Structure 1
Amino acid sequence: MPQDLEKAYDPGAIEDRWAAYWVNERLFEVPSPESVPERDPFTILLPPPNVTGRLHMGHMLNQTEMDILTRWHRMCGDTTLWLPGTDHAGIATQMMVERQLAGEGKKRQDVGREAFIERVWQWKEHYGGAILGQMKRLGASVDWSREYFTMDENLSVAVREAFVRLYEQGLIYRGKYIVNWDPIQQTAVSDLEVTHEERAGKLYHIRYPLADGSGSIVIATTRPETMLGDTAVAVNPDDARYLAFHGKLLRLPLSGVNGGAEREIPIVTDSWANPEFGTGAVKVTPAHDPNDFAIGVRHNLPQLSIMDEAARIELPGSPYHGLDRYAAREKIVEDLRALDLLVDVKDHAMAIGLSQRSGAVVEPRLSTQWFVKIQPLADKAIAAVEQGHIKFTPEQYAKTYFEWMRNIHDWCISRQLWWGHRIPAWHCEACGQITVSRADKPASCAECGSAAIHQDTDVLDTWFSSGLLPCSVFGWPKHTRDLDIFYPTSLLVTGFDILFFWVARMIMLGCHFMLEMPMANGDKRTLKDAVPFREVYIHALVRDADRQKMSKTKGNVIDPIEIVEKYGTDAVRFTLAAMASPGTDIAFSEARTEGYRAFANKIWNAARFIFMNEERAALGGVEVSRNTLIDSFGPDENAPIEARWIVSRLNHTAADVNEALSEYRFHEAANLVYQFFWGDFCDWYLEIVKLRLDFTENADKRAAKAALTTLLATFEAALRMLSPFMPFITEELWHALYNGNPPAKSIALSRYPQPFDEALDLAVESEMATLQDLIVNIRAARKELEVPERESVPVRVRTTHDNSFGDALLIIQRLARVSTLDPVENIEGSGIRSTPAFDVQVVYERTVDVAAERERLTKELAQFEKEQANAQRQLANEGFLAKAPAHIVDGIRKRAAELVILIEKTRRSLDQLG
């Protein structure tokens, strides 16, 4: 006997319990690598959220899709590993702790580096696991025994090894280059960590006098504050306006300190100078602009830095010393105006770079940094995708990937932070040389042997360590059994926003390092087996209901935890899955979620109906033994139509869902399950099977038992089919169905329904579709004729095939409230409804509103004719016929043939009205 269920479905009453059960029972841990079969397991890596993070809708979509796939693969019998972890998130985490210190009136410099790092670890232990706690509550089926943190000791060893190897291979170097500088965090940030925003700015025209006093040249700039660092003015060599100025010297305005002489700078010719921009003459500040830096290298110009780490002017003795860059701009413009050197100021739209973390306007700054020579790594990563070893879904992202990878710049990997993986390089105070070492601290300088060495103060870019995760989490640089079994991973599910931050870097680092590691059998590893994953699925962006991007500024951010508390986790998961069409953003709607909460109610009530009837059966002496696998279950050909039909529909749906999930069509898979459970099972099958469940003394107990057996087996299999999408309600009902003693510890460890060919019966599905259509049309006709709901009426029907409905007669009579069903050769009169398969007429004495009936038929005819015209247009389009899938074209042809019949019938009905 099944367990009793509460009358009302309450997700809050079951979800915490099952979430804790899955974790406490350690249900999703993979067996030891030694026991994993040789065939490929399904391995997936969670994009590690920052320890500073809280769950947002993007996370929930990402994790819902991963969990659906992981649960599905596990239920399909694959060895399945979903690895969870968190990222130390250098800049973000340091910001959090610095804010905490600021609340105490301190800066990190006040406590010192070691004490600050200890403070960060304390913060991480106290706050850092919040997002993983949310994942546990939402039922993510990860292997928690393998949880990692990117600063774990074993991962730190991998990071150090990767750095040293790349350095030894000549692929890491140190040098002075222009970087994006965050003046709030006071660190370099990569191009990918900079967002661009168009803002209104100004274009300043400034007169620079010639050193010989013979005239002047007018330059155009958007940043007059950097003129203090100018070392040249550039003009295009082909610009005829400036031919006479080539090679001359200028006096740089405002460059004199305390009344001293102004610096003299040359006029150089360079093709970068655009004659169409401003005046065609541009100032060159090599230490504060990447393009000017390149000009400076070409012309061997000095590189004069004029700003400190906080973007304040750093020119002791200058009247601008200590001023913020924007305050300096105002004063410089004011002084130029006073000297009559400001020629013009024009409005000018500018693309401003903003640091993603702090929101500060980034400052291009000449700085000594560590870089990865990226092209050798990029070449392998490009080949891996070109040769098909990694597949992108949707496919268009491969094109985006190639465009970026083929125009890639060297990667600045150093950050001026205290929190992160310290760069394993030691500077010698005696000879100035750098020693890069795998040791925690080398004993002495590798060049001169001096013990007076100190470690580089910079840390590595967070993406350097996370880029190694697909191999480092399995033990690299050691050759482990985990690497042999679980690498490459099967799939990466992620968002477009980290395609280059993370995905591309994992491919580059994975291909580079794993090519050096042999296979388990000792063979040399090929590029195919060096890639970090076989497939990349890029999921959509979750927007608000109006398709606007969510932002705190707009006030339209949706908190998934609030929605979960309101509707339940299963409803939110199903909403995201049902809207997750590859390549299409999701307009998240609470109305949709409310609808799927109603879907959960429907499932719950169906279970209560089934359990109630099983109790009635037991009281009536009918006992049913459950068959837990619908794969091997199928009624015989003598079973009632609804039994043969529901089993066929279940198998049909299982086949389609399996195919959809294999191609990441989450929306299609979710909607297939929804249509089966709500439409086929609840709306039709349950209503029909009620007619068979008679457990009275004189009933045919054998027929009733057969009906109940089919009902239970179908429901049990439907729960398994739904389980990856709605794991909580299915777990609760599955355990209740087995009275708390199921064949496995969890429905997630049972078998996913697989199509059973012998149970597929397309003929019975077609027959049932006609039957459903007939009942729907009779109900519609009753409504039009205003037949009282409980009154049964006679019905006439003319079909294009056998007029006897056999065991379906009872179904029609009960579900459409029909007293008699009379097959006839011809039907005339009003109230006729037609389909290609039949004409049906409800016989009911009521004055027919001829005008209304004519209006209804006229509208129906217009709709049919419009649909026919569209079908004919498509079938006449050779381009469409060549590109459209065959089943689509066949469907249009079939419908076009049906429309010919429907149009003829509707016209005949109109003629009969007179």
Structure 2
Amino acid sequence: MDKGYFHAEVDRKRKPFTMVIPPPNITGSLHMGHALNSTLQDILVRYKRMRGYNACWIPGTDHAGIATQNVVERELLKEGKSRFDLGRKKFIEKVWEWKKKYGNRIIEQLKRLGCSCDWERLRFTLDKECSEAVTETFVKLYEKDLIYRDEYIINWCPRCQTALSDIEVEHEDEKGYFYYIKYPFKSQVAGRRSQVARKTTSDKRRATSDYITVATTRPETMLGDTAVAINPKDKRFKRLIGKTLILPIMNREIPLIADDYVDPEFGTGAVKITPAHDPNDFEIGRKHKLPEVRVIDTSGKMTREAGKYEGLDRYECRKRLLEDLEKEGYLEKKEDYLVPVGRCYRCSTSIEFLISLQWFLKVRDLAKPAIEVVKEGRIEYIPKRWEKVYLDWMEGLKDWCLSRQIWWGHRIPVYYCQNCISQVAGRRSSETIRDQAKRAISDKQVEPIVARKKPKECPKCGNRNLVQDPDVLDTWFSSALWPFSTLGWPKKTEDLAYFYPTSLLITGHEIIHLWVARMIKMGLELMGDIPFSEVYIHGIVRDKKGKKMSKSLGNVIDPLDIIAEYGTDALRFTLASSCAQGQDLQLFDEKFISSRNFTNKIWNASRFVLMNLKDFKPASSIQDLGSSLTLVDRWILSRYHRTVKEVTDSIENYRISEAAQILYRFVWHEFCDWYLELIKPRLNDGEIDPRSSILDPGKERKPASSIQHPGSKEVAQYVMYLVLEGTLRLLHPFMPFITEEIWQQLKKVTQLPSYPVTQLKNKKNHQTIKPSNRQTESIMISSWPELDKRRINAKIEKEMALVIEVTTSIRNIRSEMGPAPQKKIEAFLKIRKKDQLKTIDANATYIRNLARVSRIEMGP
């Protein structure tokens, strides 16, 4: 890294290849999902670098607002303190101290994984450059009337004490109940409420002239009901529309209204409407101008509006309310039901729907061009099926709640004049200026001042006493700017002009909505261009049984443990070879062991080659050998170039696992198991003619040593050197550590001159490096192997396949017969085709040596 191999500068003569790393949270440690994502990115960026691209892979970390604040608050709790004890300024200082101590832990782990990022470009979402981009974006969008402040129903986490966007809420079905509750009509209540309430019915319509029955999974919210709704086309209830009901326990009058939203087939067909605590009810309430009674507060406790249940936790309230409903005869029954529960994505607390004054981003107008660029093919999803997931989501977007009621993050660039606040809110005698400001800021009537930096005075009244909005922006707001904020935007930098749009984004499907879609919208809106042209979506890491890895299931495999036991290259190769495009991958020890064994195989084979290259002088070109190549030489060269072609095609089409498997088969089963074994006699004896006749095995021709002689040691040395050197370069993106180590050893043995790094930065020189006469000082800056299609020979491969088949068959028979390993046997072959007979006769020595055969007879 200190030699600058991974650093990219603007170079108009070269084509850029740019990626931004999905920034991991500063609270995180490397997990297998990170390892998979980072390995895939590194494979591609190393490959592109070797292909001559000016590859720029930008690393960075995310400040992770809620997650980081939670971590630091837990640390304070151990000392018996809260963030409020410290105050905002000192708490933020405390978080920065924590970040300095632990925030780069995951960066060091990514380096250990071998990530070849441009580490000189390391970014943090709260650094100066990114913060300027965030402020500029907010102001621009506000000035275009895309950001607004309003009271709306939002997801609220009582534990984190902040609003959450819809896609920050994780939904799961949990065992619960449907509670059937009777709502009596006003006309039947006066003077005989209890008798009517206790009256039962077998009428499945759940409605009589006395009451109507509604079903709910959250009975505690009924304390805030302001209506009951039915479908206007529902004949069962049509005659009752407009009548007045009495809210049980609370004795509040509420109307029976009609709305098309109600599904007549769901529950009883009658729905309780709680505008302050349900998103759908909120919309119905606004439509029908219903009151919004708030019975649950931000801590999840019941408010004064809840009557005698005030101060109770929401779930304790549910318990007591159900007891009271049953006692009063309003609880008709309860049924088992799988209840969809939304939980905070950070702390898993069940969220509440609350009406709150928040900042929102209008996303529908931004979504239109973001939909078009995918439909038009300007942005391609790989695999293509993820396009539908993206488009379906984009069609039904709600405005994005941007504000978060925490302290760690990008503070909203909005200010309020305290003089104007006083005029709007008035001053209470017992209220401090700070309390007054806090109350007034939450008042929709107060006019906000949106500015890139704190104004010197109020533009309305000239007062200089301004206070900033206490909320911060959703963490994903800064992440949405990542492809261009990391390149200097809003400044018009050379980097931005050259490296943007980026080339490729690699990520998991779970953040298509959280991150990918938002980057596309922001890129189009602020840059006028797409942020990337391709999005590769990889699968989820699962265990041996196919279950998603999670701490709660206890099936997590720590990548750092795998590195310690099997090595980094083994981990990387396992991930690469297991991640079939578009499929989830299952990981278990046997896979890591297999990759570790493959690493050992490469190492041992390379040691063998290096030991046999001590007196080797590389030829200038393979063409110089002319007719000196034997069948096995031509075969391995054909297989090598076919492997170059297949691996290249696979990587270009993001079939990474396929490329890894092709390399595995070639290296293990062809180069190591066959070619190196077949040439051992040539390396040991100097000259062995593979064409010695089967009919006369004792007669072997040994002409004078020459590189032009078929079967000579020099030919074998050259071919195995050429194949090893090229194969190391094919393997390098997958296994950077072992390939670099062997590369350095190969340099020492061959003593080839190196290209200096400064020369390699020129694309032309980079592409013309010949392994036969030049070797780079590091494999990291070597070129990708060149494909010579002329060397691919199907006829040669077919002939060699016959030699391998015959040798394998004899070995299998030998194994069944069980002779001593050193004892040679005689073999009889039935050969009907003359061309096969000719091939076997021409390569008799190989068959006899590998199968330990003294004589081979052939017949029809």
TM-score, normalising length: structure 2: 0.87
2:80 partner letter: G
Q: 1:232 aligns with which of 194, 217, 227?
A: 227
The aligned counterpart of 1:437 is 450
Residue 579 of structure 1, CA deviation: 1.1
Aligned to 1:646: 636
Counting only pairs closer than 5 Å after superposition, residues 488-507 of structure 1 correspond to structure 2 as 488-507=501-520
Q: Which residue of 2 aligns with 1:768?
A: 800
Cα distance in 2 for residues equivalent to 1:600 and 1:412: 50
Pairwise mapping of residues 483-882 of structure 1 onto structure 2 (< 5 A)? 483-515=496-528, 530-615=529-614, 618=615, 623-625=616-618, 635-694=625-684, 700=705, 702=707, 703-739=712-748, 743-797=775-829, 798-802=831-835, 803-804=837-838, 805=840, 807-824=842-859, 826=860
- For 1:251, the equivalent position in structure 2 comes to 246
CA distance in 2, matches of 1:635, 1:499: 54
Tell me what 1:93 maps to: 68
2-structure distance, mates of 1:612, 1:451: 81
Instruction: Quote the Cα distance in structure 2 between the aligned partners of 1:544 and 1:249.
Output: 57
Aligned partner of 1:24 in structure 2 is 2
Given candidates 256, 260, 276, the residue that maps to 1:287 is: 276
The CA distance in 1 between the partners of 2:624 and 2:588, in whole Å, is 40
Structure 2 residue matching 1:369: 3-state secondary structure: strand
* Aligned residue number for residue 329 of structure 1: 318
Q: Distance in 1 between matches of 2:674 and 2:239?
A: 90
Q: Is the 8 A contact 1:435 1:446 kept in 2?
A: no
Distance 2:824 2:239 in 1: 104
CA separation of 1:342 and 1:761: change in aligned 2, threshold 3 A: closer
Match for 1:251: what amino acid? I
Secondary structure, in 3 states, of the residue corresponding to 1:264? strand
Aligned partner of 2:698 in structure 1 is: none
Moved more, 434-443 or 486-495: 434-443
Q: Kindly state the Cα deviation for residue 596 of structure 1 after the two structures are TM-superposed.
A: 1.4
Residues in 2 aligned to 1:342 and 1:793: alpha-carbon distance in whole angstroms = 91
**What is the rounded CA distance, in whole Å, between the counterparts of 2:827 and 2:323 in structure 1?**
94
Which moved further from structure 2: 590-599 or 448-457?
448-457
Give the one of 460, 463, 466 matched to 2:479: 466
For 1:559 and 1:323, how far apart are their aligned partners in 2? 42
Query: 2:101 maps to what in 1?
Result: 126
One-letter amino acid of the structure 2 residue matched with residue 817 of structure 1:
R
Deviation at 1:317, TM superposition (A): 9.0
Residue 224 of structure 2 contacts residue 306 of structure 2 at CA under 8 Å; is this kept in 1?
no
User: In the aligned structure 1, how far is the partner of 2:679 from the partner of 2:238?
Assistant: 95
CA distance in 1 between counterparts of 2:590 and 2:38 reads 22
772-781 or 653-662: bigger deviation: 772-781
Paired letter, 2:5: L
TM-aligned CA deviation for residue 690 of structure 1: 0.9
**Shift of the alpha carbon at 1:453?**
2.6
Cα displacement string for residues 194-213 of structure 1 (whole angstroms, at most 9, x for unaligned residues): 12111222222333333344
Partners in 1 of 2:230 and 2:416 — Cα distance? 42
CA distance in 2, matches of 1:478, 1:410: 28
Deviations 1:503-522 (A, max 9, x none): 1110111011111xxxxxxx
Which residue identity does 2:723 align to in structure 1?
T
Shift of 1:766: 1.7
Structure 1 residues 245, 667: CA separation in 2 closer, same or farther (over 3 Å shift)? same
Q: Is the 2:182–2:211 Cα contact (8 Å) retained in structure 1?
A: yes
Would the aligned equivalents of 1:202 and 1:349 in 2 still touch at CA under 8 Å?
Answer: yes
Q: Give, in whole Å, the separation in 1 of the partners of 2:38 and 2:69.
A: 26
The answer to whether the 8 A contact 1:231-1:285 is kept is yes
Q: Give the SS at the match of 1:54.
A: coil
Partners of 1:540 and 1:727 in 2: CA distance = 23
Is 1:223 the counterpart of 2:218 in the alignment?
A: yes
C-alpha displacement at 1:38, in angstroms? Answer: 4.3
3-state SS of paired residue (1:188): strand
Alignment partner for residue 399 of structure 1, among 359, 382, 388?
388
Query: What is the 5 A alignment of 1:872-911?
Result: none
Q: Which amino acid aligns with 1:397?
A: W
Cα offset, 1:408, TM superposition:
1.4
Identity %: 46
One-letter code aligned to 2:57? W
State the Cα distance separating 1:170 from its structure 2 match.
1.0
Contact 1:425 1:455 in 2 (8 A): yes
2:338 maps to 349
Any gaps of 5 or more consecutive residues in structure 2?
190-209, 422-445, 688-701, 755-774
- Structure 1 residue 354, shift from structure 2 partner: 1.2
Deviations 1:842-887 (A, max 9, x none): xxxxxxxxxxxxxxxxxxxxxxxxxxxxxxxxxxxxxxxxxxxxxx
Letter in 2 for 1:354: R
Match of residue 457, structure 1, among 437, 449, 470: 470
Deviations 1:234-274 (A, max 9, x none): 2222333434432233333333xxxxxx4322222222333
Paired residues of 2:263 and 2:269 also in contact (CA < 8 A): yes
Name the SS for the 1:418 alignment partner: coil
Deviations 1:652-683 (A, max 9, x none): 10011000000111111001111111111111
The Cα shift of 1:409 comes to 1.3
Per the alignment, do residues 590 and 635 of structure 1 end up closer, same or farther by CA in structure 2, a change over 3 Å counting?
Answer: farther
Q: Provide the rounded CA distance (Å) in 1 between the counterparts of 2:216 and 2:651.
A: 55
Residue 352 (structure 1) shift:
1.0
Q: Which amino acid aligns with 1:143?
A: D
**For residue 820 of structure 1, what is the amino acid of its counterpart?**
R
Aligned residues: 771
What letter matches 2:654 in structure 1?
Answer: Y
Q: Any idea what SS the aligned residue of 1:679 has?
A: helix
- The superposition leaves residues 561-595 of structure 1 with CA deviations (integer Å, 9 ceiling, x where unpaired) of 11111111111111111111111111112102101
Instruction: Name the counterpart of 1:527.
Output: none
Looking at structure 2, the residues matched to 264 and 560 of structure 1 have their Cα atoms a distance apart, in angstroms, of: 61
Task: Give the letter for the 2:4 counterpart.
Answer: R
Aligned to 1:93, the other structure's residue is in SS state helix
Q: What's the counterpart of residue 874 of structure 1?
A: none
The alignment status of 1:377 with 2:386, answered yes or no, reads: no
Asked if 1 retains the 8 angstrom alpha-carbon contact of 2:295 and 2:305, the reply is no
Distance 1:626 1:533 in 2: 44
CA shift at 1:321, angstroms? 1.3
TM-score with structure 1 setting the length = 0.82
SS of match in other structure, 1:318: helix
Query: Which residue of structure 1 aligns with residue 491 of structure 2?
Result: 478
Kept after mapping to 1: 8 A contact 2:508/2:538: yes
What's the secondary structure of 2:718's corresponding residue?
helix
What residue is the counterpart of 2:92 in the other structure? 117
CA distance in 2: counterparts of 1:690 and 1:705, whole angstroms: 12
